[in-house]
Amino acid sequence: MLPELGQFALILALLLAGMQAFFGIAGPLLGRDRWIAAVTPAVAGQSVMVALAVGCLIASFVSNDFSVSYVAGNSNSALPLFYRVAALWGAHEGSLLLWILLLAAWTVAVAIGSARLPPRFAARVLGVLGVVSFGFLLFTLATSNPFARLDPPMPDGRDLNPILQDPALAIHPPILYTGYVGFAVAFAFACAAMLEGRLDATWARWTRPWTTAAWAFLTCGIALGSFWAYYELGWGGFWFWDPVENASFMPWLVGTALVHSLAVTEKRGLFKSWTLLLAILTFSLSMLGTFLVRSGVLVSVHSFAADPARGIFILAFLVIMIGGALTLYAWRAPLLKSSAGFELGARESFLLFNNVLLITAATTVFAGTMAPLISDALKLGTVSVGPPYFNPTFLLSMLPLAALLSVGIHSNWKRGRLKDSQRMLLITLLAAAVLACALVYGIYQHGLVLTPVGALLGIWIILSSFVEPLSRWRRGLRVPRGMLGMTIAHSGLGVLVIALTTVQSFTLEHDVALAPGATTTVGSYLFRFDGVQAIEGPNYDGIGATVTVTRGGAPVAVFKPQKRQYWVQHQLTSETAIRMDHGNNIFVALGEDLGAGRWSLRVQIRPLVSFIWLAALIMAIGGAVAASDRRYRNSKVTEAAVPGAAAGSAA
Amino acid sequence: MNRFAVPMAVFAALVVVLAIGIRHSPQKGIIISPLIGKPAPLFSLPSLNDPAHAVASGDLKGRWYLLNVWGTWCVGCRAEHQMLLEARDAHALPLIGLDWKDDDARARQWLAQFGNPYEAIALDHSGRTAVDFGVYGAPETFLINAQGIVVYKYVGPLTRDVWTQEILPRLPGHAGGSS
């Protein structure tokens, strides 16, 4: 009964989303106030129905209803309760439902937050969000119904994909999708502005907190995904340039550009049409990510169910949504004139470079991700470009970005008088150089050519980002949350640059074959293999090894890497053992049984690798702080003209 | 054309590439197997019918065969059983069963009750061979050619459509369905 109720709720949600889209777009267009008034009730109804549908599917999972095909395919009666709920997004149908649920949540948040926006504009924003909801609901109902029944029902389910049975991965999709879906809000604001034919600083101020919040979620989501890949896949890397990873990274890069471009549009009324284009692009890339992952166009380690019929639907949807928005853009963007100018060396020029470099980086990632597809379409044979392509090309645009960031932070809006801050620039640069040398040559001894450069840039970014808030604080001025958030996020980036530099330069990797009792030395650590024993979990069994690690005779830790075989899907997964010691991340994965008690072990020591995820977390916190700035919440509806060059204001 | 239309033009070109990409993407319903076009994993397992001999991949070389992964504990295998019997009667190619993590006595009882579609049945008690084949869940069916290359893989109960439209047309010298 519950699955049917859920399906019915989903159909009602589709109809209500259609109403939301129609009234929200046609109402303001034809000037019908009663239509505009109907938009918010439609949003409320749609979100309640979506929540009901999700509730029904979760109930089917919790009660082990294996007559529901999706439940039978992704759960099992031996599966712990936590994973039975997380199994909701274990495969395609439920992931889509999660998308829709999160979109409904964002829409409700926008509806509540837009109470102080002009009603016509708010209706347009909600209308555009309604179009997106409608498309995804139709997609779900037409091609991927999560409530389909099985006849006869299965006595037990096929279990959740074992690689998803992990706490980090269980919470990874909701956070990542919250970020993806959140960019729909920026997209809706952009479309609404184009429909209005008007875009001013107030618009940018409305849009910024939503965009920054979505960006913070996406940052967290990507970091969690990378963290999971590091310790669950057991390949010993934190980033593989896999199509699915790139699919989440491209919207992040363009979204980062959007966050910065919005700052210029708000503060100076510049980059208007560019900001609109970025808002469209960011959400387009989010949807393209969905398309690439779900359509089977690109094969990746992450895509577990692909279906071209779905691909065609998503492609048609992309054409309508993105094609429509870009047509609107070609028609309306020429109307948006920016009157103000700026000098080279002004903060605007640095943010322009920031945008150019971020878009360049996104383009290189895009080209690398699409290369296999394009060469296949042109019948050039299947090529695949891996880290040898991505690493250098990405570095090429990121190095100047990191260098310009520290200079740009010291610049002023409008005027290119960098002389004023020359002293601070030199002081921070000098201090960064000293600290970088201490880190590279003092602690780690040797390195690559780029090692001191990377360490210097990372430290310089951190020092520079604290200059402005500290000087305000010393002068007894309030540090607004926007500026505080920016400082936190930028220092997070600095930490990331340092961590990436040390990990790339000082990682030790050894694959060894050891008999019980044998030892191997990696770096300053001694690893002793103590043999293997059988283990048994709630829905798997397997083999666990014991490896004792010492450093200079002092015990560090006992590592217990495992290989698990899940009973139902008979899939082998590798559980690596990871410990921190003196800032070093020690990683032990159990390899193959080589016979006679000998096993192959993969031992890696990565200095500061945890700081990569910590850095992402710091950046996300910065985004959250900035998005919560009171300025965004208190802004009354004013026909504010572009505020003049506010002295030394936050970006 | 104004410069604001450039993004639209770029997007149009991208749509064309993606559309071609979809047309080229592998058939519907397949969970893409990395084994397709590659040699089937080697195996040599005890036989259910003939304990004295092994069922080995090496002995099967030289002819096309269908490797069907099944077990008496698997509901989907019961569902496809009738289709397997029809496939046997079509005499298009031999069926080799891979009895996956099963009880021998129950397997014999199952075949006695429902009929035996297989020319030989390999007993995979440990599940090792199924792992080598990347089996996701029974039933799964692999079409393997005379050179021992995996040509096609189907996940789920075999249907008449799959048999006539996917398997038979792939066989050498077969001009279409005959079931």
**In angstroms, what CA-CA distances link A68 with A4, A88, A156, A371, B78?**
10, 12, 11, 39, 19
Q: What is the ipTM of this complex?
A: 0.77
Residue B101: the pLDDT is: 77
| Alpha-helix runs per DSSP H in A339-449 | 347-377, 387-409, 422-437
Per-residue pLDDT band for A46 (boundaries 50, 70, 90) equals very high
With tokens 């913070």, the residue in question is A216
- Find the CB nearest A330 among B5, B131, B137: B5
Q: Does B5 touch chain A (CB under 8 A)?
A: yes
Residue A277 at interface with chain B, using a CB cutoff of 8 Å? yes
Check A277 against B7: CB less than 8 A apart. yes
B31: helix, strand or coil: coil
pLDDT at A377: 62
Given a cut of 60, whether residue A636 has pLDDT beyond it is: no
pLDDT at position B24 = 63
CATH number attached to the domain at B30-170: 3.40.30.10
Contact B8 A315 (CB under 8 A): no
Q: How many domains does chain A have?
A: 2
Mutate which of B1, B2, B3, B4 to disrupt the A interface (most A C-beta within 10 Å)? B4
Does any CB of chain A come closer than 8 Å to the CB of residue B37? no
CB contact under 8 Å between A304 and B31, yes or no, is: yes
Whether this prediction's pTM lies above 0.90 is answered by no
- Burial of B71-105, coded b for 16+ CB within 10 Å and e otherwise, reads bbebbbbbebbebbeebbeeebbbbbbbbbbbeee
A570 located within any domain:
yes
B179 touches chain A (CB under 8 A): no
d(CA A284, CA A324): 11
Q: What pLDDT, on the 0 to 100 scale, is given for residue A307?
A: 60
Q: Is residue A572 situated within a structural domain?
A: yes
Q: CA A367, CA A389: separation in Å to the nearest integer?
A: 10
Q: Which residues contact A555 (CB under 8 A, 6 or more apart)?
A: A548, A549
Tell whether B2 is within 8 A of chain A (Cβ). Answer: yes
Q: Does B73 touch chain A (CB under 8 A)?
A: no
As a whole number of angstroms, the distance between CA A411 and CA A76 comes to 59
Contact A158 B28 (CB under 8 A): no
Q: Do A297 and B22 touch (CB under 8 A)?
A: yes
Tell me the per-residue pLDDT of A53-99, one tens digit each, with 9 for 90 and over. 999 999 999 999 988 988 988 888 888 899 999 999 888 888 889 99
User: Scanning every residue of chain B, which has its alpha carbon at the shortest distance from the alpha carbon of A154?
Assistant: B75
- CATH number, domain with residue A569: 2.60.98
**Pairwise CA distance, residues A437 & A198, whole Å:** 52
Mean pLDDT of A379-384: 57
Does position A50 have pLDDT exceeding 60, yes or no? yes
Residue ranges of chain B with pLDDT lower than 70? 1, 22-34, 136-137, 174-179
A373–B21: do the CB atoms touch at under 8 Å? yes
Residues of chain A neighbouring B32 (CB-CB closer than 8 A): 296, 299, 306
Pick from B8, B25, B127: CB nearest A296: B25
Put simply, whether B25 touches A (Cβ < 8 Å) is yes
pLDDT tens-digit series, residues B47-87: 888 777 888 888 888 889 999 988 887 777 887 888 899 99
Say yes or no for a CB contact (<8 Å) between B11 and A273: no
Beta bridge partners of B41: none
DSSP result, B87-105: HHHTTSS-EEEEEES--HH
Which residue from B22, B31, B137 is facing A312, i.e. has the nearest CB?
Answer: B22
Query: Which of residues A122, A141, A160 is at a domain's end?
Result: A160
Q: What per-residue confidence (pLDDT) applies to A312?
A: 78
Domain ranges of chain B: 30-170
Question: Using one digit for the tens of pLDDT, what is the confidence trace for A153-187?
Answer: 777 777 777 767 778 778 888 999 999 999 999 99
A311 contacts in chain B (CB < 8 Å): 22, 25
- Span A570-620, pLDDT tens digits: 667 778 888 878 778 888 888 888 878 888 888 888 888 889 999 999 999
Local confidence band at A317 (pLDDT 50, 70, 90 cut-offs): confident
What residues of chain B lie within 8 A of the CB of A565, using their CB? 127
Interface test with B, best of A292, A326, A328, A332 (most B CBs within 10 A): A326
Is residue A513, in this structure, part of any structural domain at all?
yes
Interface test with A, best of B14, B15, B18 (most A CBs within 10 A): B18
Structure tokens at A152: 């006869």
pLDDT at A376: 62
Alpha-carbon distance A196 to nearest alpha carbon in chain B (angstroms): 17
Question: For residue A336, what pLDDT is reported?
Answer: 82
User: Which one, of A418, A474, A99, lies nearest residue A289 by Cα?
Assistant: A99
Contact A318 B135 (CB under 8 A): no
Q: Does residue A302 surpass a pLDDT of 50?
A: no
- Distance to chain A for B140, nearest Cα, Å: 12
Phi first, then psi, for residue A511 (nearest 5°) are: -105, 120
Considering only CB atoms, B4 lies closest to which of A311, A333, A370, namely A333
Segment A230-272, tens digit of pLDDT:
776 655 678 888 777 888 999 999 999 999 999 999 988 888 9
Q: Is A152 on the interface with B (CB under 8 A)?
A: yes
Residue range A425-432: mean pLDDT, rounded: 90
Tell me if A466 is assigned to some domain.
no
- Is B128 in CB contact (< 8 Å) with chain A? no
Q: Does A256 touch chain B (CB under 8 A)?
A: no
CB contacts of B22 in chain A (<8 Å) are 295, 297, 308, 311-312, 315
Instruction: Collect all residues with Cβ–Cβ distance below 8 Å to A598 and sequence separation of at least 6.
Output: A513, A514, A515
User: What does the pLDDT read at residue A298?
Assistant: 53
Measured between CA atoms, the residue of chain B closest to residue A327 is: B8
| Dist. CA A498–CA A353, nearest whole Å | 22
pLDDT at A309 over 80: no
CB contact under 8 A, A297 and B75: no
Across the A/B interface, how many CB contacts are shorter than 8 Å? 86
For A204-220, how does the pLDDT look when each residue is reduced to its tens digit (9 = 90+)? 999 999 999 999 999 99
Q: Give the pLDDT mean for A484-495.
A: 96
- Site from B6, B10, B11 to mutate, A interface, most A CB atoms within 10 angstroms: B11
Q: Is the pLDDT of residue A647 over 50?
A: no
Q: How far apart are CA A480 and CA A495, in angstroms?
A: 23
With a pLDDT cut of 70, the percent of chain A lying above it is 89
Question: Do A296 and B7 make contact, defined as CB atoms within 8 angstroms?
Answer: no
> With an 8 Å Cβ cutoff, is A457 touching chain B?
no
When pLDDT is cut at 50, 70 and 90, the band that residue A641 belongs to is very low
Per the CB < 8 Å rule, is B22 touching A307? no
Percent over 90 (pLDDT), chain A: 44
Going by C-alpha positions, the residue among A158, A37, A150 that lies closest to residue A91 is A158
Q: Give the highest mean pLDDT range of A22-26, A295-299, B152-156.
A: A22-26
Q: Which of A67, A295, A297, A299 to mutate to test the interface with B (most CBs of B within 10 A)?
A: A297
Does A306 sit within 8 Å of B137, measured CB to CB?
A: no
> Given B12, B17, B32, which is nearest A306 (Cβ)?
B32
Contact status of B13 with chain A (Cβ, < 8 Å): no
Task: Give the single-character DSSP code of A321.
Answer: I
Q: What angle do CA A172, A174, A175 make, to 5 degrees?
A: 65
- Tell me which chain B residue has its CA closest to the CA of residue A73: B137
Q: Which of A609, A628, A646 is the last residue of a domain?
A: A609
All residues of chain B having their beta carbon less than 8 Å from the beta carbon of residue A326 are: 7-8, 11
B52 touches chain A (CB under 8 A): no
User: Which residues in chain A (373-402) have CB-CB distances under 8 A to chain B?
Assistant: 373-374, 376-377
Nearest-CA distance from B14 to chain A in Å? 9
**Residue B131 is nearest to which of A304, A377, A570, comparing CB atoms?**
A570
Q: Is A549 helix (H, G, I), strand (E, B) or coil?
A: strand
- B139: cis peptide before it, omega within 30°? yes
Structural domain boundaries enclosing A103: 1-160
Residue B27 has a pLDDT of 45
* A503 falls within a domain: no
**Cβ-based contacts of B102 with chain A (< 8 Å):** none
Whether B22 and A311 have beta carbons less than 8 Å apart is answered as yes
Chain A, 567 to 586: residues with Cβ < 8 Å from chain B are 568-572
